[in-house]
Each structure stands twice: as C-alpha cells, then as structure tokens.
Structure 1
Amino acid sequence: MSSSYFPGNDDPEIEVPTFDDNESLAGMVHKVSNYLIQVIPLVPFTFDQMRTSSAGYPLRPLITSLSENAHNQKIVCALMISKYQFSNVSEDDWGLNESRGYACEYVAWQFLTYLSHREIIDFLLRELPSPRKNSSVLAAAETGSAGFAQSTGYHSPGVIDERTPLLAGSSLDSPFVGLSSRRDGRSGKETKTSSNTPEELCIFEQFSLFAGLNALEIATIAHAKKFLSQNVVQRIIDDIWNGEVIFWDTLSLYSKKEPKIFNRRLVTQSLTGNPMADGVCVF
C-alpha cells in the first residue's frame, strides 16, 4: 500500500502542534489528542504496523518537531495521559481510539531515542507537581465539582477510591490548568487569578489522578506496555532497579526528591572521608 494513502502525510491543513516551555499539561494533552485524531481518522493500525510499515509515516512530522523543539519535560506525561484517555473511551468504532493510543506510545518512544541518557531520565522521571493544599480551586472543587459533574454528565476518567490522589489537585497556576488574568484597577498591573470556571474545575478533576506522578508511572497506569517494553525505557527501569538512578541523595528534613544518576564518588567520600576516592558519575 502506498504511503500516500495515509492521511496526514502532506495535508497542509493538519498543523503539527508545538509546545511552549511553560505550557499547561491540559493544553499539551489537548493538542496531542487533536493531532492524533486528525492523522488517524479512518484506518486503525497496531503498534507493530506503525513501527514496521508506512502506517507510522503520518506521525513523523510530530516526532521530528518534538525532537527539534520540545524542551517541556511534561511532553511524555502528556502523551501517556492521552494514551490513557484514548484507551478509556467507552465507544471505540473500528478500533480507532486504540490505534491513537498506540500512536501515543509510538511517538513517545521515538522521541526518547533522540535524547541523551540524562535527558531521558528527566523526561521520564520528573514528577508532575503535587497539589497545593491552599488552592482556591481545591475549595471550589471539593464543594462544587460533584454537582458540576452531575449537571454536565462529566465523570473523571479514573475510578475514585481510597487509593485515588486527593483533590488537592492543583491551582490554576499549576501545569494542569492555564492561568487567567485580570487587571488591578488601582495599580494598573495585570495579575494572575483563579476564576474557577466550570471548564477549569472539569480539567482540574480530570487531571488530579496524575498529580505527583512521573511519565513512567503514568505509562503504567495507562497500560502502555508497548512503550514500556522498548529498550530505551527498559534501560532506565534497569538503572532504577540496580541503583544507578536514585531519587534521594540525602535523607534529611530539607531533602528534595529528584531523579539523579548515582554519584558513587560522593557517597564513597562521605563514608571514608577520602577526597581522592574512586568512582565518577554525573548528576
């Protein structure tokens, strides 16, 4: 079958999404989902077909754009959340949404192949910010999101139980929801504010499931088995298992959880007091 059969190859009307460094997670998921719906509108494909045949050709413009321009470390999280959403659509005519989910895995995998080992660690293991306990959106969501869901028919994509992260979800100045702004009449300065619109509360509830998680964890929730099985991802999993990648370099009140390459030299020095101890690793 000729590659020209597949939509999205040379269609000027399908714009490849770009992502700002500070773009919200919700905005990124929206762009990714819309693009994949446009380039996979008619014919479903498996992951292996995308990998081994011209079925993956319509995804190349997005992969190329990400490899050249994407610096926002939430992009792999956005792709895995899109995978989760496509996989949980109740009606999947002809398996199109399943194929779009596979496309999320394929794009994420191909994107990682362009990165260095250090960059892969950052894109896979940097956690999305945890909820802010004093968020004004949190108060509105706790008191009103249930009523909003009933009135609109919206329901969170995840099953809510005692294991579901609390709705200390995110404020409007978080990566999940975009900022609104207003102008202070006295100072004339534009300030960021939370308007608590129904749409923003809906986004807040929808993404609260993923707060505090990294792309690897979200991929597990999304059952992105094809993505997780790729060598570039398995190497990171092996490094975590073998202690080559760590999340805590010290255990103190002021320690911050952050993915790092294990620095054997620093640990040896701290144990022996020998500044010339062997072992080199880069943070």
Structure 2
Amino acid sequence: MQAFRNCGLCASGNLLKGRTDFLIARRNMAVMRLSAACVQLLKDKANVFCRSSVHQRLLRLPEVARSNTVAFSVSSSLCAVPFTQVENLSHESLIRRASCLVTDSANTYLSQTTLALVDALTQYAKALHTLIALQKRYITSIGKLTPAEEDSIWQVIIGQRVEVSDRLEECRRFESNWMNAINICELSAEAAYNSGAEHACTATKTNLQVAQCKVEELRTISKEAEKKLAETKAEEIQRMAEYASSIDINDLEDIPEAYLRED
C-alpha cells in the first residue's frame, strides 16, 4: 500500500512537472512566433521603403548613397535592417559641382602648359645669349684669325644659330597650347561664376594672372636677348665693312703710282 502511494505521488509529480514544462514551452513558442511576426513586418516595411527610394532615384539624377544600419531589439533578438538615404540634389547644385570639376581640369592644363612654355622660353633665352657671346668673340678677333680658325669658329656659330631656331620653334609650339589653356580657363571661370561657384571662379582667375605674369616676364627676357643679338649682328656688319675697307686701302697703297694716274 505504501509502495502504491509512493508510485502515485511520483506519477502525479511527474505529471505536474511535465505540464509545467509544456506550458513554458508553449509560452516560448508564442514568444518566438511573435518575434518572427515582428521581423517579417519590419522586412515588409523595409522592402516598401526601398521600392519607394528606387522610384525616387529614377526620377532624379543618381547620387552616391550612404548605407546605414538600424538595429531593432525584439524579444531579446536583434534584427539589422539596411536602408538607403538619397540627398535631394537640384539641377543647380549638380551644375555647380560640374563647373568646379571643369575649373579644376582647366587649372591643371594651364599649370602644365605654363611650365612647359616657361622652360622653353628660358632655354631660348640661354641659346640667344650663347650666340651673342660667340659672335662678340668673333667680332673682336676679325683680322686676327687664320682661315682655319675663322672657319672653325663659324661652324660653332652656325650650329648655335640652328639651336636658337629649334628653341624658337619649341616656344611657338608650347605657346599655342598655352593660349588654348588660357581660353579654356577663361570660359571655365565664366561658367563657374554663372553657376554660383564664386570660389572656383576666383581661384581660376588668380591662376590666370600668375601664369600670364610669369610668361610675360620670360617673354621680356627673350625679347631683350633678341635685341642684343640684333645689335651684335649690326656691330659685326660694321666691323666687317671697316676691315674690308682697310684691306682695300692697303691694297691700293701697294699699287705703284703710275698705275693709278689717269691718262
């Protein structure tokens, strides 16, 4: 009898324990279903938001979007739902940005062409001064050189004249590119000003002034060298004429007086 009672108590205890576990399990299942329903609802909302965002992007120009992640806590579980934010850009702002890009490219083109032209003008001025030095040396030695020495120095002078011609042609080629860069910068500065990008317009105009001042400075140096070369050539012609006249006079002095008298 005692054993039967013990068995009955054990059975009732196990039954009660099993019923408690069953209720806990049902509650956990209900929580899980509620969590799943919330997650599904959030996903549906996210899909609707994404579709509306795509529709808005099709109506506007595309913009580099930033992706953010918002975390939701549902019944001790986390759900990350990504979504996209698109800035509301107008046509005016896009044109302003494009004009800034144009001015940046124009400034780069201007800086490169200015550097090339300045270097070409510098080399041209150096070649001119070298030629001036050679011709002055020849002028001071007129009548003092042997035919072989005179021929040698003339070969050097002719070679330097070819160098000057090549440097001048290089200056003209780079100057053509530089003038194109000047025109492009002026147009880009005007476009930036009209679009409202005053800072880009101001920066481009400043770069234009600096480039023009630098090129004008080198042009002045080259023109002064050309002027000195012309003066040297004139001096050379005068000195050669004097030397030729002195040779004629000496030749006349060597002729007997009887040959000089008129009959």
| TM-score in terms of structure 2 length | 0.22
Point out the structure with max Rg over C-alpha: 2
Could you say which structure has the greater relative contact order, defined with CA pairs below 8 angstroms and 6 or more residues apart? 2
Higher helix residue share: 2
